Amino acid sequence: MHKSGLIELEAVLAVARCRGFRAAATALGMSTTAVSNAVAGLEARLGVRLFNRTTRSVALTEAGEQFVARVAPAMVEIHGAIEGINEHRQTPKGTLRLNASAGAARMVFSRVIAEYLRRYPEMKVEIVTEGRMIDVVGEDYDAGIRLSEMVPRDMVRVPIGAKLRMAVVGSPGYFSEFPIPVSPADLAAHRCVRTRFPSGAASPWEFARRGETISVDVPGVLTLDEPNLIYDAARVGAGLAYLGEWYVAEDIEAGRLIRVLDDWTPSFPGLALYYAQGRHMAAGLRALVDLVHELSD
């Protein structure tokens, strides 16, 4: 095999898994050009095209499917052997790839991730944030961090931290024009900053009190899909916002935002680190799981 053959095999498997050169490059931490050249180089030496490429899609050829089916298990064994050596080290070394929502990443960074990097200086951590839920195994992540209730049931779930709460907030300037709502029904007369799911569907505001649960499709002329933008909108008086308490706690305490409907926003299960069952756990991930358990005690 050519001396760069292992890199080329990694590139082929990543393109097959991610169904595109750009996504594969992101997964491998390489440039798109480097991934494309690696695949083209292997195809040239094999004398067989492994992928059909168009401007819109990348798909394995029949030969490519047979090749990947045989190579993928072998690469799992190679990575397992490398990781097995890593387990004999006093401290783990390598790269830990995590997928999380922006809010989850923000909540765990200073307490968990920063401490992890301090303890394990030979580890690198890559966190990709996005609103949509993804297949952490299929997209080559070691683990994910999400709200516990969103974690797929077939995953191992490790709780991180305490329960969480949502908060409905508005600026003092906003409440100089609008009355304080005392029940979710009062929101019909307010200007609210609406939230949209990554799927494109509108996200209702969820409330509960004394066993009663209410889901409100709030009115408003502004719709956003990014928590920091929603926070900014609330701060400038654009309307009421429905945000995680962790975003606005300091502003509430300082009087920059006013919290309403407090008795309608009970706590709910917090964040969880999750990873695939039955999969060999890399030393770097094991160290993170152990740290999360330690910090939760």
Domain boundaries, the chain: 5-86, 94-160+270-296, 166-264
Examine domains 5-86 and 166-264 and report if their fold is the same: no
Which residues are CB-contacts of 189 (< 8 A; sequence separation ≥ 6)? 178, 179, 181
Tallying the residues shown for the chain, one arrives at 297
Which residue has tokens 């330690």?
294
The span from the CA of 170 to the CA of 240, in Å, is 5
- What letter represents residue 223's amino acid? T
Residues of the chain with pLDDT under 70: 1-5, 82-90, 199, 297
pTM of the model as a whole: 0.65
Residue 275 CB coordination number (10 Å): 22
Name the CATH code of domain 5-86 (choices 3.40.50.300, 1.20.950.20, 1.10.10.10, 1.10.443.10): 1.10.10.10
Give the integer Cα–Cα distance in Å for 54 and 176.
Answer: 57
Please, are residues 223 and 196 in contact by the beta-carbon 8 Å criterion?
A: yes
Class of the CATH-defined domain 166-264 = alpha beta
pLDDT attached to residue 55? 76
Predicted confidence at residue 3, as pLDDT, reads 44
Contact 71, 17 (CB under 8 A): no
Of the candidates 134, 154, 153, the one whose C-alpha atom is nearest the C-alpha of residue 144 is: 134
Note the pLDDT of residue 241: 97
Q: Where are the alpha helices (DSSP H) in the chain?
A: 5-18, 21-28, 32-46, 62-86, 102-108, 114-119, 172-175, 227-235, 245-254, 283-296
**Phi, psi of 147, deg, nearest 5:** -60, 140
What would the CATH number be for the domain defined by 94-160+270-296? Answer: 3.40.190.10
Of residues 244, 241, 286, 259, the one with CA closest to residue 91: 286
CA-atom Rg of the chain in angstroms: 24
| pLDDT at 2 (0 to 100) | 45
